[in-house]
Structure 1
Amino acid sequence: MTITLDMPAESRSKRLKAVTHTTHDRLDKAIMAGEPFASLARYALFLKVQHGFHREIDALYFDPALDRLLPDLSGRRRVGLIEQDLADLGAEMSVAKGEPAFAPAAPMDIPDALGWLYVAEGSNLGAAFLLKAAAGLGLSESFGARHLAAAPEGRGLHWRTFTAALDALDLSEAEEAQVTAGAQAAFARVQALVADTFG
């Protein structure tokens, strides 16, 4: 897997956005149907969903191979911020069921991992709306909604540096399919967490 400067007309990140659009839209509607900003108790459920998902991918942020491919990978890790948000609200952590999707120190399927990270990074790009809604509950980047805060360089640039690195990877056709499958699996995992948590 190498970096290439010859980018196709349609980038990998744009193809991922197109192919996961329906799944992403269904997930967004499921989350909002749970009314996560109706009360602090509902918001705590949303945090548990977030914690459950980021628990699944936490090992990715420590993987040396991924770190060589993606900019500021460790700085993009959010599970610690979510745990602080839960503590701010006096809420319990999500109850882990089984092993996470990516176990620490386990052999890493890089294309699959890239798909999951695409979903995680995309959720941060769209978190500005969620942060505004959380403010209605008295929450902020420094209390209860830390994980929704923008990166110091801004959401747009933070996302573009990630997608530029993702788009520049030279992948085989089979690896491309794995990236897409990873993104779909990540969305499906969050959908399942929403169903389990919000009922």
Structure 2
Amino acid sequence: MTAPSQLSHPLRSQRLNAITHEPHSRLDQLVKSHDPFASPERFAHFVAAQYLFQRDLQALYSDPELTRLIADLPQRCRVEQARLDLADLQRDLPQGDERIRGQAMGTGEALAWLFVSEGSKLGAAFLLKRMPALGLSETFGARHLAEPEGGRAQGWKAFTAVLDSIELDAEQERQAEVAAIAAFERFTEHLERCFA
């Protein structure tokens, strides 16, 4: 079996995308199995998972070192939008743990977690199209799916440009790859818990 860092993709963003293909596909199937778009009540479970994941990453989005690399990073965080969505949906905030929030991460690891969060904004465009049927929108109940300022594609391009430009040694690359997979696993854990 080929080690993740030996994949034949020249850019880090492409390598992370390739090695997370399987956990990403599993997560997509899990989301579909829970049918979060069947009703506002079911969608609230999905939003609760989003809130917990964004809460995990809240400190990364305001980290001074990372903000030096990505100036608009604090504005990219969606924890507040998810919190407001849960209020719209009349659901209490779920209680999260500190396992990820309290974890010290190197730059490569942190960017890999953010890679998963930022990448989800691309798919959010398709989810937002399903919101009118639930009586929800980017201003009520589905704020966390709203298009970022400057557009989804431009925001992703700017983020991956930074991700791909940072120099990491072989161990840091390995840690980034492990972190990207861990991020998908963490969201999966939140989703299973919120739909339980």
Partners of 1:9 and 1:100 lie apart in 2 by 31
In the superposition, relative to structure 1, how do residues 9 and 16 fare at CA in structure 2: closer, same or farther (>3 Å)? closer
Partner Cα distance (1:40, 1:116) in 2: 28
The two structures have a TM-score, normalised by structure 1, of 0.90
Deviation string for 1:105-146 (max 9, x for gaps)?
A: x75422211111000000111101111112210111111111
Q: Give yes or no for contact 1:112–1:182 (8 Å, CA) kept in 2.
A: yes
Q: In the alignment, does 2:138 pair up with 1:145?
A: no
Q: 1:161 aligns with which of 143, 158, 161?
A: 158
Moved over 4 A (4+): none
Scaled by the length of structure 2, the TM-score of the pair is 0.91
Residues 45-60 of structure 1 aligned to structure 2 (within 5 Å): 45-60=45-60
The whole-number CA distance in structure 2 between the counterparts of 1:122 and 1:54 is: 13
Can you list the C-alpha shifts for 1:32-84, whole angstroms capped at 9, x where unaligned?
11110100110000011101111111110111111112241111010000001
5+ residue gaps, structure 1, are 1-7
Equivalences for residues 93-112 of structure 1 within 5 A: 93-96=93-96, 98-103=97-102, 107-112=104-109
- Residue type of the alignment partner of 1:148: L
Identity %: 46
Counterpart pick for 2:175 among 151, 173, 178: 178
Secondary structure (helix, strand or coil) at the match of 2:172 reads: helix
RMSD: 1.5
User: Do the aligned partners of 1:56 and 1:102 also contact (CA within 8 Å) in 2?
Assistant: yes
Q: C-alpha separation between the residues in 1 aligned to 2:146 and 2:9?
A: 32
Aligned twin of 1:62: 62
Does the Cα contact within 8 Å between 1:71 and 1:162 map onto a contact in 2?
no
* CA shift digits 1:89-119 (9 cap, x unpaired): 11111122x314023xx75422211111000
The one-letter code matched in structure 2 to 1:90 is Q
Who is 1:3 aligned against? none
> Which residues of 2 match residues 8-47 of structure 1 at below 5 A?
10-47=10-47
Cα pair 2:9 2:15 within 8 Å, conserved: no
How many angstroms does 1:181 deviate by?
Answer: 0.9
Cα distance in 1, alignment partners of residues 17 and 189 from structure 2: 20
